[in-house]
């Protein structure tokens, strides 16, 4: 067989394999597989043990196993459903094989005296243990010993069975024998390829399987780190507009804020301003818990750009948040003579045109917006700084799209999901990190309680009492899937319910489907105290700032992850009043949900919560990447594998210093997609 794609068989398309046509290729693509290399890295998520035939007296119901026996009798039973029953014996006991669907040929082939080898689930039947529709094979004589390796089971998709995938993986393995060649001495699997081969057909040795998996994961994490490092190196060679300190508008801003900066705000602001003074583009992550006051730091940075006549783009993940940033920035910056504009996806055409013009002419020195700011047609006069709030919602791809005439602006990325240090070191290796590690003075930790759904009535009474005495509250509705429609229905019915139960209070409703103007109007009313209880979908999760709100109920809190719960709770406790958060849950709780709610009760510390969150999360749900659809890792699961991060960092640094070739090999293995933005 020829290798049409040259020396690198791993980048050959899957259609190179015999039996893979365009239809199959399309299905494989749904699994993220387009090349032979992707197939190699499509690792089994579990194994079937067909290495040993289990004697009939050792069979346990509920297990999946291989059995071998001699046919003793076979007959059709006419019970509630017709079925073909074949009785096997192996000298230790008997087992029934039951087929509901069978052909004439099958019926006749079950001849007493023949041997049968089956693989399937054992269950308890009407007459002892049985297997229903196992995979099976008939043999004239006693079949040979079972195979020596475990049988891989692959993540499959509609129309593609694990068995077919297994066949193609086998073919890809043959074609790519010497590819993916990174070699790391002093490990149980020095060659990456050896580890991969083993994982596709391992012996029944869990320790070695773990070692092989670890080897592959380490390669992947190191690959990610190396790509980040390379990007950082490229960035360092770029130049952008230096913004040294100017006519001291910053001092004026400080004076009119109405509060004093916390020590942490002053320190991080200093770090940002120092970066901005340089020609090298800033790439800084500003992390700070909900309510720690990150916006102020952004305002100082924007002011610095403005005093040099340069523009700042501030991007928020939702319209509500963009609107809020717009208001805050206008209030702070307009008095300094800095024009702030708002650009969202839902503005009218003439409105939009006016804004675009103001941005192009450089009249709007600060442009606040949603993803609309990324879109083609938005042209800045001189963009020097991009500030991105809540970066997990955007993802790296979009982050890199914002350039000005081919030049990268300084970038400040703000996140309220604190990221444990081991993670930032490895995953955000291309960024410098500033951390706001304290809250403004006078904040009281939110009191958090759990309440089972059976006490919902009581909770409603409590909220009514509080709000009748002047407090304001959120009632947050969640749904099982991330389904806007459902969430909306839930919110509407809760709104009706609360409005009926709280006749003396003003109950409002805000959700993602509301037209922008109405959303703004509702939020403005809530802010102004004209709404007492605001029923909301999780759209309020991010950033909304109403300092008088001191009560929050989260309906079906067991459905949310820790990060999201923490974000939501951060909406209250922003003023000086003691705030309360009630997590309403549907009993019985799963073990994980119980632990999540306990963490929420016990701490308000975002960093602790983030650590716990990592521990509790399911595979693949890393750092909220699911929300953005941005796939981060093929194999690594930070919940399980993060102990490997320090090793990946160390290894990556050593390779960069001593072994460029291996570094490049690893990047080529994992960084195909990342490499796009590595070429800044």
d(CA 173, CA 167) in angstroms, rounded, equals 10
Site residues, ligand ADP (CB under 6 A): 259-262, 265, 288, 290-296, 416, 440, 545, 547, 574
Q: Which residues contact 276 (CB under 8 A, 6 or more apart)?
A: 242, 243, 282, 301, 304, 305, 385, 410
- Name which of Mg ion, ligand ADP, none residue 624 binds, using a CB cut-off of 5 to 8 Å depending on partner kind: none
**Which CB atom, from 182 or from 262, has the smaller least distance to ligand ADP?**
262
d(CA 79, CA 153) in angstroms, rounded, equals 35
Which residue, chain included where needed, has tokens 């990060």? Answer: 563
Per-residue burial over 174-211, b = 16 or more CB atoms within 10 Å of its CB, e = otherwise? ebbeebbebebeeeebebbbebbbbbbbbeeeeebbee
**CB-side exposure of 568: number of CA atoms within 13 Å?**
29
**Which CB atom, from 224 or from 325, has the smaller least distance to Mg ion?**
325
Whole-Å CA distances, 350 to 78, 297, 353 = 76, 33, 5
**Which CB atom, from 222 or from 268, has the smaller least distance to ligand ADP?**
268
**Which CB atom, from 91 or from 258, has the smaller least distance to ligand ADP?**
258
Closest CB to ligand ADP: residue number:
293
8 Å CB contact between 53 and 146? yes
**Which CB atom, from 160 or from 314, has the smaller least distance to ligand ADP?**
314
d(CA 201, CA 47) in angstroms, rounded, equals 9
Least separation in angstroms between residue 286's CB and ligand ADP is 9
Which residue, chain included where needed, has tokens 């290399």? Answer: 37
Q: Which residues contact 386 (CB under 8 A, 6 or more apart)?
A: 312, 313, 315, 402, 409, 410, 411, 412
**Which CB atom, from 297 or from 305, has the smaller least distance to Mg ion?**
297
Residue 432 pairs in a beta bridge with: 284
- Name which of ligand ADP, Mg ion, none residue 292 binds, using a CB cut-off of 5 to 8 Å depending on partner kind: ligand ADP
d(CA 373, CA 46) in angstroms, rounded, equals 44
Least separation in angstroms between residue 347's CB and ligand ADP is 24
Least separation in angstroms between residue 543's CB and Mg ion is 4
- Name which of ligand ADP, Mg ion, none residue 293 binds, using a CB cut-off of 5 to 8 Å depending on partner kind: ligand ADP
How many residues form the binding site for Mg ion (CB under 5 A)? 1
Phi, psi of 611 (to 5 degrees): -60, -50
- Name which of Mg ion, ligand ADP, none residue 50 binds, using a CB cut-off of 5 to 8 Å depending on partner kind: none
Least separation in angstroms between residue 417's CB and Mg ion is 11
Residue 641 pairs in a beta bridge with: none
Least separation in angstroms between residue 547's CB and Mg ion is 13
Least separation in angstroms between residue 568's CB and Mg ion is 14
DSSP classification of residue 589: P
Least separation in angstroms between residue 260's CB and ligand ADP is 6
- Name which of ligand ADP, Mg ion, none residue 90 binds, using a CB cut-off of 5 to 8 Å depending on partner kind: none
- Name which of ligand ADP, Mg ion, none residue 580 binds, using a CB cut-off of 5 to 8 Å depending on partner kind: none
Least separation in angstroms between residue 526's CB and Mg ion is 17
**Which CB atom, from 330 or from 547, has the smaller least distance to ligand ADP?**
547
**Which CB atom, from 507 or from 544, has the smaller least distance to Mg ion?**
544
Phi, psi of 242 (to 5 degrees): -75, 140
Binding mask 536-555 for Mg ion (x = CB under 5 A): -------x------------
- Name which of Mg ion, ligand ADP, none residue 290 binds, using a CB cut-off of 5 to 8 Å depending on partner kind: ligand ADP
**Which CB atom, from 473 or from 543, has the smaller least distance to Mg ion?**
543
- Name which of ligand ADP, Mg ion, none residue 291 binds, using a CB cut-off of 5 to 8 Å depending on partner kind: ligand ADP
CA angle 69, 74, 78 (to 5 degrees): 135
- Name which of Mg ion, ligand ADP, none residue 281 binds, using a CB cut-off of 5 to 8 Å depending on partner kind: none
Least separation in angstroms between residue 541's CB and ligand ADP is 12
Cα-Cα-Cα-Cα dihedral sign, residues 589, 595, 597, 598: positive
Cα-Cα-Cα-Cα dihedral sign, residues 246, 250, 255, 256: positive
Closest CB to Mg ion: residue number:
543
Cα-Cα-Cα-Cα dihedral sign, residues 577, 580, 581, 584: negative
Least separation in angstroms between residue 600's CB and ligand ADP is 18
**Which CB atom, from 118 or from 272, has the smaller least distance to Mg ion?**
272
- Name which of Mg ion, ligand ADP, none residue 45 binds, using a CB cut-off of 5 to 8 Å depending on partner kind: none
* Cα Rg of the chain (Å, integer): 30
Binding mask 491-530 for Mg ion (x = CB under 5 A): ----------------------------------------
**Which CB atom, from 152 or from 573, has the smaller least distance to ligand ADP?**
573
Separation of CA 496 from chain center: 34
**Which CB atom, from 409 or from 543, has the smaller least distance to Mg ion?**
543
User: Nearest CA to 245 among 294, 286, 303, 299?
Assistant: 303
- Name which of ligand ADP, Mg ion, none residue 283 binds, using a CB cut-off of 5 to 8 Å depending on partner kind: none
**Which CB atom, from 549 or from 638, has the smaller least distance to ligand ADP?**
549
Least separation in angstroms between residue 458's CB and Mg ion is 33
Least separation in angstroms between residue 389's CB and ligand ADP is 7
- Name which of Mg ion, ligand ADP, none residue 296 binds, using a CB cut-off of 5 to 8 Å depending on partner kind: ligand ADP
Other Cβ atoms less than 10 A from the Cβ of 282: the count is 26
**Which CB atom, from 292 or from 424, has the smaller least distance to ligand ADP?**
292
**For the chain, what's the residue count?**
680
570 lies in the binding site for Mg ion (CB under 5 A): no
**Which CB atom, from 300 or from 380, has the smaller least distance to Mg ion?**
300
8 Å CB contact between 282 and 354? no
d(CA 61, CA 121) in angstroms, rounded, equals 8
Separation of CA 286 from chain center: 20
- Name which of Mg ion, ligand ADP, none residue 617 binds, using a CB cut-off of 5 to 8 Å depending on partner kind: none
d(CA 209, CA 226) in angstroms, rounded, equals 26
- Name which of ligand ADP, Mg ion, none residue 259 binds, using a CB cut-off of 5 to 8 Å depending on partner kind: ligand ADP
- Six token digits for residue 236: 């360092």
Least separation in angstroms between residue 26's CB and ligand ADP is 43
- Name which of Mg ion, ligand ADP, none residue 440 binds, using a CB cut-off of 5 to 8 Å depending on partner kind: ligand ADP
d(CA 23, CA 356) in angstroms, rounded, equals 44
E strand spans, 227-365: 283-288, 311-315, 340-343
Least separation in angstroms between residue 265's CB and ligand ADP is 6
Least separation in angstroms between residue 317's CB and ligand ADP is 12
Contacting positions for Mg ion (CB under 5 A): 543
């Amino acid at each position: 067989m020829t290798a049409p794609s040259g020396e690198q068989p791993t980048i050959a398309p899957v259609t190179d394999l015999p039996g893979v046509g365009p239809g199959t290729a399309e299905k494989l693509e749904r699994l993220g597989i387009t090349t032979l290399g992707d197939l190699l890295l499509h690792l089994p998520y579990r194994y079937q043990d067909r290495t040993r035939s289990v004697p009939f007296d050792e069979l346990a119901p509920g297990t999946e196993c291989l059995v071998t026996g001699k046919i003793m009798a076979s007959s059709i039973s006419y019970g509630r459903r017709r079925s073909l029953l074949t009785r096997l014996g192996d000298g230790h006991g008997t087992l029934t094989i039951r087929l509901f669907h069978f052909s004439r040929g099958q019926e006749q082939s079950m001849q007493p005296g023949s041997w049968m080898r089956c693989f399937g689930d054992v269950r308890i039947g009407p007459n002892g243990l049985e297997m229903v529709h196992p995979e099976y094979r008939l043999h004239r004589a006693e079949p040979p010993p079972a195979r020596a390796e475990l049988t891989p089971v692959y993540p499959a998709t509609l129309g593609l069975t694990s068995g077919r995938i297994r066949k193609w993986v086998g073919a890809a393995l043959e074609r790519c024998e010497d590819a993916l060649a990174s070699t790391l001495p002093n490990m149980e699997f020095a060659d990456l390829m050896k580890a991969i081969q083993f994982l596709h057909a391992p012996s029944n040795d869990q320790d070695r399987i773990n070692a092989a998996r670890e080897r592959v994961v380490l390669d992947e994490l190191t690959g990610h780190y190396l790509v980040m490092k390379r990007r950082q190196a490229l960035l360092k060679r770029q130049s952008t507009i230096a913004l040294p300190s100017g006519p001291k508008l910053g001092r004026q801003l400080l004076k009119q804020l109405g509060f004093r900066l916390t020590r942490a705000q002053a320190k991080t602001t200093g770090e940002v301003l120092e970066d901005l003074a340089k020609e090298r583009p800033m790439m800084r992550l500003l992390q700070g818990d909900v309510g720690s006051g990150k916006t102020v730091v952004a305002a100082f940075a924007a002011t610095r750009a403005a005093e040099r006549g340069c523009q700042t783009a501030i991007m928020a993940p939702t319209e509500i948040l963009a609107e809020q940033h717009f208001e805050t920035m206008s209030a702070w910056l307009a008095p300094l003579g800095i024009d702030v504009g708002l650009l969202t996806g839902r503005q009218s055409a003439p409105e939009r045109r006016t804004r675009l013009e103001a941005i192009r002419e450089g009249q709007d020195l600060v442009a606040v917006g949603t993803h609309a700011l990324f879109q083609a047609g938005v042209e800045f006069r001189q963009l020097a700084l991009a500030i991105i709030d809540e970066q997990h919602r955007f993802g790296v791809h979009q982050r890199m799209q914002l350039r000005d005439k081919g030049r990268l602006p300084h970038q400040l990325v703000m996140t309220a999901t604190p990221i444990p240090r081991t993670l930032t070191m490895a995953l955000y290796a291309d960024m410098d990190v500033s951390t706001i590690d304290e809250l403004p003075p006078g904040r009281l930790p939110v009191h958090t309680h759990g309440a089972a759904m059976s006490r919902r009535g009581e909770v409603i009474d409590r909220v009514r009492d509080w709000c009748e005495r002047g407090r304001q509250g959120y009632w947050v509705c969640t749904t099982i899937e991330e389904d806007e429609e459902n969430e909306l229905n839930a919110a509407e019915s809760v709104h009706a319910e609360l409005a009926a139960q709280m006749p003396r209070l003003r109950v409002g409703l805000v959700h993602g489907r509301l037209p922008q103007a109405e959303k703004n109007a509702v939020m403005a009313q809530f802010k102004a105290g004209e709404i007492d209880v605001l029923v909301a979908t999780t759209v309020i999760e991010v950033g909304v700032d109403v300092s008088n709100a001191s009560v929050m109920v989260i309906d079906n809190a067991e459905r949310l992850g820790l990060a999201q719960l923490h974000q939501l709770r951060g909406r209250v406790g922003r003023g000086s009043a003691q705030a309360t958060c009630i997590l309403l849950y549907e009993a019985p709780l799963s073990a994980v949900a119980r632990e999540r709610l306990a963490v929420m009760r016990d701490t308000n510390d975002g960093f602790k919560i983030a650590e716990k969150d990592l521990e509790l999360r399911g595979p693949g749900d890393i750092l909220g990447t699911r929300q953005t659809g941005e796939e981060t890792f093929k194999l690594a699961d930070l919940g399980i594998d993060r102990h490997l991060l320090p090793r990946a960092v160390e290894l990556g640094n050593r390779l960069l210093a001593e072994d460029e070739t291996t570094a490049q090999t690893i990047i080529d293995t994992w960084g195909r997609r990342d490499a796009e933005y590595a070429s800044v």
